[in-house]
Amino acid sequence: MTAVDPVPQQEAAPACYRHPKRETYVRCVRCDRYICADCMRDAAVGQQCAECVREGNKGVRQARSVFGGRVTVTPWVTYVLIALNVLAYLAELARPSLLERFDGLGSGMVGPDGGYYVPSATTDPGYHLVGIAHGEWDRLLTSAFLHQPPGQGFGVLHIALNMWWIWRLGRPLEEMLGRTRFAALYLLAALGGSVLAFLVSPHTGALGASGAVFGLTAAYWVFSRRLGHDMTEANQLTILSLVWLVVSAGFTSWQGHLGGFLAGGVIALAFAYAPGRYRVLVQAAAGVALLAVLLALTAVKASDLAVL
């Protein structure tokens, strides 16, 4: 009897390390593992797997804007802020009572008839106190997203002008700062306007994005000067804003305009002139410090108004 040689076994085709049922002969140039078409990533030389690409990107330094923020191509924060203002305007048109609840009223009293009165020491249960001084601190920010409805003040022109100003200045500022710093600038300017209005005229329900807009104007001037840009446009916009602040003082909240301008200017100076080595720390500390000062001033004024 003669021995029969065994039939040689055919070697199995290699398979993707992530998809074992997919045959492939391509290997990752970094880890040498087999990868299928879905797992391949183009590299400078050959193909890499997704994990090697992810690992390699960890060592790639993120591009930064001129003042330290992440570079942004699309000004999403600007778009979102405009959208929020427009949505709030539509909401107040559908439900006018939102204005009374979320405007910048510092201290007021609602009577049995639903009307608003200057607070007084009364024990009548039909009256109740409302406003920032009486626990409604959310008004400090919500008022910055509300605008005068048609038939009152500037009407639709109020929101139209503010949204144009945000569109005009928001895009270049967001490009300079990055999204996080720009959002901080906008909100702190809005808060600064609300706080000064609360300090000076607490019995008036101010509203509008004008405080934030004035803050953006101040910041645009500071950044343009810091970067050595042609100051013609920045000077024109700033002068126009200051002239409007004075001219409109009799029928708009000049306090909100001035407060926003000052707050925006202060935080812009911190963002623009923070030393490179400690830039992030200085910028963050400046933002927190300004926020703390504004809230402290609000607390002091609220405690004074709460005592009738």
The pLDDT value given to residue 58 = 63
The pLDDT value given to residue 211 = 95
Domain of 102, CATH number, reads 1.20.1540.10
The pLDDT value given to residue 114 = 62
Residue 129 located in a structural domain: yes
Same domain, 28 and 127: no
Residue 142 located in a structural domain: yes
Q: What is the spatial distance between Cα 214 and Cα 205, in angstroms, rounded to a whole number? A: 19
Q: What is the spatial distance between Cα 101 and Cα 90, in angstroms, rounded to a whole number? A: 16
CA distances from 161 to 145, 165, 167, 208 (A): 13, 6, 10, 11
In the numeric block, which tokens belong to residue 61? 């330094």
In the numeric block, which tokens belong to residue 37? 């078409």
Same domain, 81 and 44: no
The domain total for the chain is 2
Residue 238 located in a structural domain: yes
pTM of the model: 0.79
Residue 189 located in a structural domain: yes
Residue 4 located in a structural domain: no
The pLDDT value given to residue 250 = 78
Tell me if 181 sits within 8 A of 69, measured CB to CB.
Answer: yes
The pLDDT value given to residue 205 = 85
Radius of gyration of the chain (CA): 29
The pLDDT value given to residue 53 = 74
Residue 297 located in a structural domain: yes
The candidate with the shortest Cα–Cα distance to 85, out of 255, 210, 236, is: 210
Q: For each of the chain's 308 residues, which pLDDT tens digit applies?
A: 455 555 555 567 788 888 887 888 888 888 878 888 777 777 666 788 878 877 766 655 566 777 888 877 789 999 999 999 999 999 999 999 898 899 998 888 787 766 666 776 566 666 778 889 989 999 999 999 999 999 887 889 999 999 999 999 999 999 999 999 999 999 999 999 999 999 999 988 889 999 999 999 999 999 999 999 899 999 999 999 999 999 988 778 899 999 999 999 999 999 999 998 889 999 999 999 999 999 999 999 999 887 65
Domain boundaries, position 26: 14-50
Same domain, 33 and 154: no
Same domain, 159 and 24: no
Same domain, 23 and 167: no
Same domain, 32 and 115: no
Taken in order 175, 181, 183, 187, the sign of the CA dihedral is negative
The pLDDT value given to residue 248 = 85
Same domain, 288 and 237: yes
Straight-line distance from the first to the last Cα atom of the chain, in angstroms, rounded to the nearest whole number? 118
Q: What is the spatial distance between Cα 29 and Cα 104, in angstroms, rounded to a whole number? A: 62
Helices (H), the chain: 50-57, 76-94, 97-102, 139-142, 156-177, 179-200, 210-226, 232-247, 254-273, 279-306
Q: What is the spatial distance between Cα 203 and Cα 212, in angstroms, rounded to a whole number? A: 21
Tell me if 143 sits within 8 A of 187, measured CB to CB.
Answer: no
Same domain, 25 and 110: no
Same domain, 23 and 97: no
The candidate with the shortest Cα–Cα distance to 198, out of 306, 308, 88, is: 306
At position 250, the amino acid (one-letter code) is G
Same domain, 181 and 287: yes
DSSP 220-238: HHHHHHHTT---HHHHHHH
The pLDDT value given to residue 14 = 85
Half-sphere exposure at residue 277, Cβ-oriented, CA atoms within 13 angstroms = 0
Same domain, 238 and 298: yes
Distant-in-sequence contacts of 52-60, Cβ < 8 A, 24+ apart: 52/28, 56/30
The candidate with the shortest Cα–Cα distance to 221, out of 246, 238, 209, is: 238
Same domain, 24 and 90: no
Residue 197 located in a structural domain: yes
In the numeric block, which tokens belong to residue 151? 């038939």
Residue 5 located in a structural domain: no
